[in-house]
Amino acid sequence: MEPTEFLNLYLLSVTIASLLANVAISLYGVFYKPHYTKKIIAVSILSDSANTIAIFIGFRRWLSPSQPPSVAIATNLSREGIEKFANVGVDPLPQALVLTAIVIGLAVTLFLIYLGYMLYCHYKTLDMREIRRLKG
């Protein structure tokens, strides 16, 4: 195994492990933190981590350091050109899904912030334990 290939594999493994740890920590924040603002932050981190994992799903290994993955445009429509593109090209579907997920995540985050504003206007607190106590 070449040193550059080992380094690429190591960095990819560390990145995936840190993303999974990020997902686990944000799930902990969503379910166990009592303050509403911390829950919104945890949902935002969870969304960003899931989007990054989806981008890594479309990742293609570099064939060599001098031949990186190409953009998703096939100009040579011969059989050899299409086969080369299929082996080297980056998958555009996860990129399109992530772009859509970013827009939806922004809308959900804005809705949660507005909901927090309404909670604060009604209960004068954002602590979920206190809201449960005041609700009766």
What pLDDT sits at residue 57?
79
Q: What's the N-to-C CA distance of the chain in angstroms?
A: 64
Instruction: Please count the structural domains in the chain.
Output: 1
Domain encompassing residue 43? 3-135
What's the whole-model pTM score?
0.78
Q: In sequence order, what are the residues at sequence separation of 6 or more whose Cβ sits closer than 8 angstroms to the Cβ of residue 29? A: 38, 39, 41, 42, 45
What pLDDT sits at residue 128?
93
What pLDDT sits at residue 69?
59
Q: In sequence order, what are the residues at sequence separation of 6 or more whose Cβ sits closer than 8 angstroms to the Cβ of residue 130? A: 123
What pLDDT sits at residue 122?
93
What pLDDT sits at residue 70?
57
Q: Write out the chain's pLDDT in tens, 136 residues.
A: 677 778 878 888 898 899 999 999 999 999 999 999 999 999 999 999 999 988 887 776 665 656 665 555 656 678 877 777 777 667 778 889 999 999 999 999 999 999 999 999 999 999 999 999 987 6
